[in-house]
Amino acid sequence: MAYKNIIVTGGAGFIGSNFVHYVANNHPEVHITVLDKLTYAGNRENLAGLPEGQVELVVGDIADAQLVDKLVSQADAVVHYAAESHNDNSLKNPFPFIQTNIIGTYTLIEACRKYEVRFHHVSTDEVYGDLPLREDLPGHGEGAGEKFTPETRYNPSSPYSSSKASSDLLVRAWVRSFGLEATISNCSNNYGPYQHIEKFIPRQITNILSGIRPKLYGSGKNVRDWIHTNDHSSAVWTILNKGKIGETYLIGADGEKNNKDVLELILEQMGQPSDAYDVVKDRPGHDLRYAIDSTKLREELGWKPEFTNFEDGMKDTIAWYTAHEDWWKSEKEAVENNYKQNGQ
């Protein structure tokens, strides 16, 4: 079925707004209702320039059952991005993560069940916990079983990732028990423009732009599997339209890098010495390594990533933050004060 009237929850955030732009640019026949609470992480500016007749922003909470019921009754699909998304915040105050990620998802799937509306749930690879570092594996980790697959056991570490794992399991149960027409995707770490400056890459870029030394947690050996957010958007669109109901697809672009290497690349591209950063307190429970095996998505649905040159993607991302100081500057001091209280 070709969906003509979709709701994108969290569509004013980093990844959700990228998806809204992707759909608006490539599928002008699709009407998009963005449902977003505009928390500290949401920003209307992320939707600037989109055709008004095609994209409508409704400011509201995904846990507001009345509002959700009304919107879902008029839609034919929901793509669910809205979440509290930052691990460090979840370690300080887990409650909003339980409320939005679990109760909010429950509210949406109840409405989708009632009106038989297609649901796509956007989730994270962090539900699987972490993998050992390659250097800790015999033969440096060559061989089988070293990446997450859709069969990997759930083993989340933080309040954030456990709340996302909970929401995934609710969706799976609603598919099995109530016939909810849903798919799930678990994606690796995204980067690109419009990412909130609390996150690793934009925090370091905006630190350098503000004359603050970048901050690396612990040894810097922790590995993340980076994907450009444009590729995440094309993957979600593919799954929404071609995915098999009840299935889970892992999204990744073979972008494993340790944090120290990423930071050194940023420093080099911004003309700084490679050691011009501070090592700060490590994150409690810090996951060691994420790595995605996206074979199922590539082979069954024919998706492939396009923005796989990390150096070029980083250059563009640095250029975007440099040119858009007005987008982040007013929040910088508060974000850094918050980290400072944590010794980070």
List the catalytic residues.
125-126, 160
**Torsion angle, alpha carbons of 68, 69, 75, 80, to 10:** 40
The binding track of 17-56 with respect to ligand TDX, each residue x by CB under 6 A or -, is ----------------------------------------
Whole-number Å distance between alpha carbons of 137 and 106? 39
Residue 250 near which of ligand TDX, ligand NAD, none (CB within 5-8 Å, type-dependent): none
185 backbone dihedrals φ, ψ, rounded to 5°: -125, 140
The binding track of 132-171 with respect to ligand NAD, each residue x by CB under 6 A or -, is --------------------------------x-------
Interface residues for ligand NAD in 50-79 (CB under 6 A)?
61-63
Residue 126, SS3? Answer: helix
- Residue number with CB closer to ligand NAD (44 or 213): 44
Q: How far is CA 150 from the centre of its chain?
A: 18
Residues in CB range of 270: below 8 A, 6 or more apart: 205, 208, 318
- Residue number with CB closer to ligand NAD (137 or 217): 217
Which of 109, 165, 187, 239 is close enough to bind ligand NAD by CB under 6 A? 187
Which of 215, 228, 232, 289 is close enough to bind ligand TDX by CB under 6 A? 215
Whole-number Å distance between alpha carbons of 186 and 148? 10
- Residue number with CB closer to ligand TDX (30 or 216): 216
Which of 43, 90, 124, 234 is close enough to bind ligand TDX by CB under 6 A? 124
Residues in CB range of 132: below 8 A, 6 or more apart: 141, 288, 289
Residue 167 near which of ligand TDX, ligand NAD, none (CB within 5-8 Å, type-dependent): none
Residue 119 near which of ligand NAD, ligand TDX, none (CB within 5-8 Å, type-dependent): none
Whole-number Å distance between alpha carbons of 31 and 96? 30
340 backbone dihedrals φ, ψ, rounded to 5°: -60, -40
> Minimum distance between the CB of residue 222 and ligand TDX, rounded to whole angstroms?
4
Parallel, antiparallel or unpaired: strands 223-225 and 256-258 = antiparallel
Task: Count residues near ligand TDX (CB under 6 A).
Answer: 16
CA Rg value for the chain: 19
Whole-number Å distance between alpha carbons of 277 and 205? 12
Which of 113, 203, 232, 289 is close enough to bind ligand TDX by CB under 6 A? 203
- Residue 107: which of 77, 76, 72 has the closest Cα? 72
Would you tell me how many other CB atoms lie within 10 Å of the CB of residue 96?
16
Which of 96, 141, 154, 217 is close enough to bind ligand TDX by CB under 6 A? 217
Would you tell me how many other CB atoms lie within 10 Å of the CB of residue 94?
16
Which of 97, 106, 128, 200 is close enough to bind ligand TDX by CB under 6 A? 200
184 forms bridges with which residues in the sheet? 121, 248
**Euclidean distance between the first and final Cα of the chain, in Å?**
48
Which of 16, 129, 202, 255 is close enough to bind ligand NAD by CB under 6 A? 16
> Minimum distance between the CB of residue 10 and ligand NAD, rounded to whole angstroms?
3
232 binds ligand TDX (CB under 6 A): no
- Residue 164: which of 225, 84, 91, 107 has the closest Cα? 84
Interface residues for ligand TDX in 251-310 (CB under 6 A)?
259, 283
101 binds ligand TDX (CB under 6 A): no
Interaction site with ligand NAD (CB under 6 A): 9-10, 12-16, 35-39, 41-42, 61-63, 81-85, 100, 104, 122, 124, 164, 187, 189-190, 196
Interaction site with ligand TDX (CB under 6 A): 85-87, 124, 126, 189, 199-200, 203, 215-217, 222, 224, 259, 283
